């Protein structure tokens, strides 16, 4: 990460937390760097970056500030839907320099289908970046005008995703959690919003752009992007924990034997995180290369990616938990950076896709939002 970018993030991260949304200076940085458009194809004015590079960028951001990285991850991840949107609509949306997608993975609304569009109503939670988003994505069950459900080929209520513009929704403040405060992951509501037919889309189907990666399965895309956030935050915490302990020992609080014990604990957790990180990237990179070579990733390889993602996230949290007791009261003071990092990491750990360390029975894909 460039030095001036690192300085900006470190300067404005605590101010973002005070504002409970990203500071304007960090938003401007995100616009300049194109971070909210990471997945957007060149054809729509985006940088056309691919998932391997994006994962490493998100991890490096998380190693500087969790809220910024999480917001970039969630908003750019929602921007990945560019690959499935009506091309004319996509061109219009992404022509905005400050375009930012936010949304929710839950099926929180009803879309009544008419001949020329839909009437959408509902409430969706946990839309990271809601305070500065220009576009919202929302999952809805489809209904006929008479109120009966439209069924899919399996006889279940059909669900589609929709694009809503910021002026069509109302933000409902409700992000009152102790971490990732600056993500502003509030709920949003739509009341009888009329949208044309071209606002519907379905991920991993009907890819509308000639760009690699849009056929990478969404569940694993979500898991990998979330996991690298945890890894970056954990690396940040480990660095700060080493400093915090040295400041305590500088007061001659501990014996040499106790210092040696901490050094061993620190090294052990650094090694565990780095080992798990290496396995994660090797597993993911192999799946990506398989996709490029054959256009399809076998199920056992996808399961390996899911497991590597979850284990990386769990190792990240465990490393922070192992070191926290040695960091002193400064680590428990909410105004300090080390406390913010700890809170952010533990809030991120509550995402439903990361709950279990082994992906024995994957849940339905959740478009990358805390639940």
**pLDDT tens column, 194-246:** 999 999 998 877 888 888 888 999 999 999 999 999 999 999 999 999 999 99
- Which segments of the chain belong to CATH 1.20.140.10? 218-354
Say what the pLDDT of residue 367 is. 43
Say what the pLDDT of residue 371 is. 36
Is this prediction's pTM over 0.85? yes
Q: Cα–Cα distance between 254 and 15 in angstroms, integer? A: 34
pLDDT of 278 above 90: yes
Say what the pLDDT of residue 209 is. 83
What angle (nearest 5°) sits at the alpha carbon of residue 142, between those of residues 136 and 146? 130
Say what the pLDDT of residue 96 is. 95
Return the percentage of the chain with pLDDT > 70, whole number.
96
Beta strands (DSSP E) in the chain are 101-114, 117-127, 135-143, 159-165, 170-172, 186-196, 200-201
Do residues 337 and 12 lie in contact, with contact meaning Cβ atoms separated by under 8 Å?
Answer: no
**Digit-coded pLDDT (tens) for 283-300:** 999 999 999 999 999 999
pLDDT band per the 50, 70, 90 thresholds, residue 360:
low
Whole-angstrom CA distances from 354 to 206, 210, 269, 362, 366 are 28, 31, 20, 10, 11
Say what the pLDDT of residue 158 is. 95
Q: Cα–Cα distance between 320 and 180 in angstroms, integer? A: 16
Q: Cα–Cα distance between 331 and 324 in angstroms, integer? A: 7
Say what the pLDDT of residue 315 is. 98
DSSP 8-state secondary structure symbol assigned to residue 143: E
Q: In the CATH hierarchy, which fold is given to the domain comprising 3-84?
A: Butyryl-Coa Dehydrogenase, subunit A; domain 1 (1.10.540)
Say what the pLDDT of residue 320 is. 98
Say what the pLDDT of residue 211 is. 81
Whole-angstrom CA distances from 19 to 97, 187, 205 are 23, 17, 39
Q: Which of 265, 266, 253, 248 is nearest to 328 (CA)?
A: 248
Do residues 84 and 205 lie in contact, with contact meaning Cβ atoms separated by under 8 Å?
Answer: yes
Across the chain, how many H-helices and E-strands are there?
9, 7
pLDDT of 309 above 90: yes
What CATH number belongs to 218-354? 1.20.140.10
Sign of the CA dihedral running 253, 258, 262, 267: positive
Q: Cα–Cα distance between 86 and 169 in angstroms, integer? A: 21
Average pLDDT for the chain: 93
Q: Which of 193, 196, 71 is nearest to 128 (CA)?
A: 71
Tell me the average pLDDT across 137-159.
94
Tell me the average pLDDT across 56-81.
96
Mean pLDDT lowest among 41-50, 178-187, 262-271, 315-324: 41-50
pLDDT band per the 50, 70, 90 thresholds, residue 361:
low
**Digit-coded pLDDT (tens) for 245-276:** 998 877 677 899 999 999 999 999 999 999 99
Q: In the CATH hierarchy, which fold is given to the domain comprising 99-201?
A: Butyryl-CoA Dehydrogenase, subunit A; domain 2 (2.40.110)
- Which segments of the chain belong to CATH 1.10.540.10? 3-84
Q: What count of other Cβ atoms lies within 10 Å of the Cβ of residue 216? A: 22
Tell me the average pLDDT across 330-343.
97
Tell me the average pLDDT across 315-326.
98
pLDDT of 141 above 50: yes
Do residues 260 and 94 lie in contact, with contact meaning Cβ atoms separated by under 8 Å?
Answer: no
Do residues 211 and 84 lie in contact, with contact meaning Cβ atoms separated by under 8 Å?
Answer: no
């Amino acid at each position: 990460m460039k030095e001036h970018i690192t300085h900006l993030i470190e300067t404005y991260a605590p101010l973002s937390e005070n504002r409970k949304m990203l500071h304007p200076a960090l938003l401007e940085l995100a616009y300049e760097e194109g971070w909210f458009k990471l997945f957007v194809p060149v054809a729509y004015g985006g940088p056309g970056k691919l998932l391997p590079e994006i994962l490493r960028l998100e991890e490096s951001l998380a190693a500087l500030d969790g809220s910024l990285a999480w917001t970039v991850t969630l908003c750019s991840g929602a921007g990945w839907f560019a690959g499935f949107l009506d091309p004319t609509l996509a061109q219009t949306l992404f022509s905005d320099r400050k375009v930012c997608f936010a949304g929710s993975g839950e099926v929180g609304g009803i879309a009544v289908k008419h001949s020329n569009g839909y009437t959408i109503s509902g409430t969706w939670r946990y839309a990271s970046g809601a305070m500065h988003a220009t576009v919202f994505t929302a999952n809805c069950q489809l209904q006929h005008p008479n109120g009966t459900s439209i069924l899919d080929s399996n006889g279940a209520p059909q669900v589609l995703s929709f694009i809503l513009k910021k002026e069509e929704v109302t933000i409902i403040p409700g992000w009152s959690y102790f971490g990732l405060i600056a993500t502003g992951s509030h709920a949003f509501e739509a009341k009888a919003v009329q949208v044309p037919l071209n606002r519907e889309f379905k991920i991993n189907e009907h890819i509308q752009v000639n760009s690699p990666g849009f056929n990478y399965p969404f569940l694993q895309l979500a898991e990998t992007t979330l996991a690298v956030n945890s890894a970056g935050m954990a690396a940040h915490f480990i660095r700060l924990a080493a400093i915090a302990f040295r400041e305590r020992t500088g007061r001659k609080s501990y014996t040499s034997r106790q210092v040696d014990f901490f050094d061993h604990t620190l090294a052990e957790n650094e090694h565990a995180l780095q080992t798990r990180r290496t396995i994660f990237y090797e597993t993911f990179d192999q799946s990506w290369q398989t996709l490029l070579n054959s256009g399809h990733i076998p199920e056992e390889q996808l399961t390996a990616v899911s497991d590597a993602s979850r284990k990386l996230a769990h190792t990240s949290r465990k490393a922070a938990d192992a070191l926290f007791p040695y960091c002193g009261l400064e680590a428990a003071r909410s105004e300090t950076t080390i406390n913010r990092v700890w809170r952010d990491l533990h809030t991120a750990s509550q995402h439903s896709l990361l709950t279990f360390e082994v992906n024995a029975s994957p849940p339905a894909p959740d478009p990358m939002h805390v639940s």
